[in-house]
Chain A
Amino acid sequence: MKLWNKYSGLIVPVIVVLALAIWPIITGKPANRETAFTILKAIALATSLNILLGYTGYVSFGHIVFYGFGGYVGLFLLTEKNWSLGAAILAGGVASGILAYLLGSAILRLRGAYFALATIGVNEAMRSFITNFELFGASTGITLNFSVYKAYGGAAQALQTSFYIGAGLALLALIISYLVRTSKFGLGLLAIRENEDAAEVMGVVAPRAKTWAYVLSAIVPGMIGVLFFFKNGNVEPHDAFPLNASIELLVMVMLGGQGTVLGPILGAFAYQGMRGYLVTSPIFKNIQLSVSGVLLLLIVLFIPAGVVGWLRHRIPSLRKVLA
């Protein structure tokens, strides 16, 4: 019972992720596995973004830069240095974390919309730089040699393994998010979100806390990047730094409820599910972007706290479970 009380906020999110990981095994269809992977990837990315956006209150419009950068570093190590997948994933996460530390020390001084603009600039600068960077294959990117998959029991088996690693990374993102949320460090971040100057007066070292929040929100995206592009077989500047994907992540976090552990997970689920439906539906397929736009507008205008935030506000007894 004590354990239940202590970790009650973690139960629903973990169940969702585990259910997603098991679903393709039960149904046994590869197509379901791909759907589940897309959702797990979205969960990992949105949950990571939430550490910066939801807890700290800084809007990053270019968060996908960590995913792309990590992916590039990982694929470079896989092809040129013959590293194993596990080591490459770790290296991708570390590289993104270091990038976030360096960037964060500089641009986190900016507040509000200026920070948002700077993150767009960083993403575009990185994309155009890598398009010219010979070591990373410039505009053609890096393509994996097919034989790489042999070490993992062939392409089919490699896809299967990637799926489990993806589920593991989603779980990792979730645990980081939960630990931050319930720690004293996280409390400092929430204080920064509410009023940065007041937080500093109360003894929160804001620049340091913000930088570490940025680093923590960058590591898992870097790892997911390596995994995704390994699975994909190649990485190109165009696929690695799509500005739209950054904004989709913001939508997921907003949809589910920023600043909560469960919110980004529900948001990722709902957004990917809706997109999957709209893209295949005969009525909406041509204007699916417009339909998503209308939905986003309605959420922003009428339930800005997101689904989880709204539920927490309406039904106080659920607050324990919906951390």
Chain B
Amino acid sequence: MEQTIRLLLASLPDGILLGFVYGLAAMGLTLIWGVMNVINLSHGPIIALGMFSTFFVYTRLGINPYVGIIPIAVVGLLLGILIYAVAVHRVINAPHLSSLLATFSVNMIIIGIGTAALTTSPYNVDFSAGSIQIGSVTLLGTRLIAALVTIIFTSGLYFFLYRTRPGKYIRAVANNRSAAELMGVPSTRILALSFGLGTMLAAVSGGLIATFFPFSILAGGGYEIKSFVIGVLGGLGNPIGALFGGLILGILEGVIPAFMETSWVPVIEFALFVLILLVRPSGLFGAKK
């Protein structure tokens, strides 16, 4: 019993802080889904690109990774707009299979070029932001700052969606694209912007994760699947719900290892994922459509 509590104290805070960053990644996926009903299968490689951006910004250019987040966000936004224009725009009204395969082909292109340029061997960002000791609990600085950055981005997104004109346009297009067009909303530009924002969040989350774990060009895949799970937990199309979904996943990852072997974590995650899809496809926090 005592040992279980000690294990919990060691792994739970870590899990919660990680959950914030998972949530940030999932927010990008779920924003795109909510606005245009497209499941972005290029999400994982973009997370991986975010990781490598931090690597180059910090290790090669010597810039602080948290300052580096700003150019990563800008490039992520532009990359997303480019992907939308090239691969997604033509299939936006086609059946689901088309947009799934179109974004998957972007996935293949990025992974292919990435593998040729960076190989699939692991990279590491050797950055430390110290740690804080509270009682017997140790909190790593990198994870605390990453959670903080997530909160900043989430509030920024919330402010953007609810307080600015383009943000309101995005919500209008998500609600009813034809009606929004009739009201004079430039829907194509808004869709491109939403896709850009989605990939921006993915790239930023990748940039933050790079300061925790070693990574390779293929590392995004695991976080992409986590983003699916979180998106469904929080309700696909509900960016704020994604943050809560991320926290739930983080807590699960923190709690489960105290009771059974770590290798059971994905079994429980995916079983939960399928179960929630079946019982409540709108997610735990999703509004009924």
B interface residue count range (under 10 / 10 to 19 / 20 to 34 / 35 or more)? 35 or more
Q: Does the CB pair A297–B39 fall under 8 Å? A: no
Q: Does the CB pair B264–A124 fall under 8 Å? A: no
Contact of A291 among B112, B271, B273, B278 (CB under 8 A): B112
Check: A191 CB closer than 8 A to any chain B CB: no
- Bound CA–CA A78/B37 (angstroms): 45
With contact pairs A128-B263, A290-B113, A293-B109 given, residues A107 and B101 touching in the complex (Cβ less than 8 Å): no
Chain A residues in 8 Å Cβ range of B269: 128
Contact of B107 among A250, A293, A304 (CB under 8 A): A293
Give me 20 other A-B pairs in contact (C-beta within 8 A), A289-B111, A297-B87 excluded.
A61-B100, A114-B281, A116-B39, A116-B96, A124-B270, A125-B274, A128-B264, A131-B263, A132-B264, A287-B112, A289-B109, A289-B112, A290-B112, A290-B116, A293-B105, A293-B108, A296-B105, A296-B108, A297-B102, A300-B98
10 A-B pairs with C-beta separation under 8 A: A114-B281, A120-B225, A121-B270, A124-B225, A287-B115, A290-B109, A290-B112, A290-B116, A291-B112, A297-B86
Chain A residues in 8 Å Cβ range of B106: 293, 297
Q: Does the CB pair A59–B109 fall under 8 Å? A: no
With contact pairs A106-B278, A120-B228 given, residues A289 and B97 touching in the complex (Cβ less than 8 Å): no
Q: Mark B91-103, 1 if CB is under 8 A from A, else 0.
A: 1001111101110
Shortest Cβ distance from residue A65 to the other chain B in the assembled complex, whole angstroms:
11
With contact pairs A106-B278, A117-B39 given, residues A125 and B113 touching in the complex (Cβ less than 8 Å): no
Q: Does the CB pair B274–A132 fall under 8 Å? A: no
Chain A residues in 8 Å Cβ range of B86: 297
Chain B residues in 8 Å Cβ range of A129: 267
- Bound CA–CA A289/B116 (angstroms): 10
Check: B137 CB closer than 8 A to any chain A CB: no
With contact pairs A112-B96, A114-B281, A121-B274 given, residues A293 and B112 touching in the complex (Cβ less than 8 Å): yes
- Bound CA–CA A247/B98 (angstroms): 12
Check: B232 CB closer than 8 A to any chain A CB: yes
- Bound CA–CA A117/B26 (angstroms): 14
Interface centre among B86, B109, B274, B278 (most CB of A within 10 A): B274
Interface secondary structure of B, over-half rule: helix
Check: A251 CB closer than 8 A to any chain B CB: yes
Shortest Cβ distance from residue B99 to the other chain A in the assembled complex, whole angstroms:
9
Interface residues of B in 233-282 (CB under 8 A from A): 261, 263-264, 266-267, 269-271, 273-274, 277-278, 281
Chain A residues in 8 Å Cβ range of B98: 300, 304
Interface secondary structure of A, over-half rule: helix
- Bound CA–CA A291/B101 (angstroms): 15
Interface residues of A in 80-134 (CB under 8 A from B): 106-107, 109-110, 112-114, 116-118, 120-122, 124-125, 128-129, 131-132
Chain A residues in 8 Å Cβ range of B277: 107, 110, 114, 117-118, 121
- Bound CA–CA A288/B98 (angstroms): 22
Check: B90 CB closer than 8 A to any chain A CB: yes
- Bound CA–CA A131/B281 (angstroms): 27
Chain A residues in 8 Å Cβ range of B91: 300-301, 304
What is the total number of residues of chain A having a CB less than 8 Å from a CB of chain B?
Answer: 44
- Bound CA–CA A297/B232 (angstroms): 27
Q: Does the CB pair A301–B87 fall under 8 Å? A: yes
- Bound CA–CA A126/B113 (angstroms): 31
Chain B residues in 8 Å Cβ range of A38: none
Complex: chain A residue closest to B87, CB-CB = A297
Chain A residues in 8 Å Cβ range of B263: 128, 131-132, 139
Contact of B37 among A113, A251, A296 (CB under 8 A): A113
Chain B residues in 8 Å Cβ range of A291: 112
Check: B123 CB closer than 8 A to any chain A CB: no
Q: Does the CB pair B266–A128 fall under 8 Å? A: yes
Complex: chain B residue closest to A53, CB-CB = B97
Check: B66 CB closer than 8 A to any chain A CB: no
The 7 nearest A-B residue pairs measured at CB: A290-B112, A293-B108, A289-B112, A125-B270, A128-B266, A293-B109, A297-B105
Chain B residues in 8 Å Cβ range of A250: 97, 101
Chain B residues in 8 Å Cβ range of A57: 95
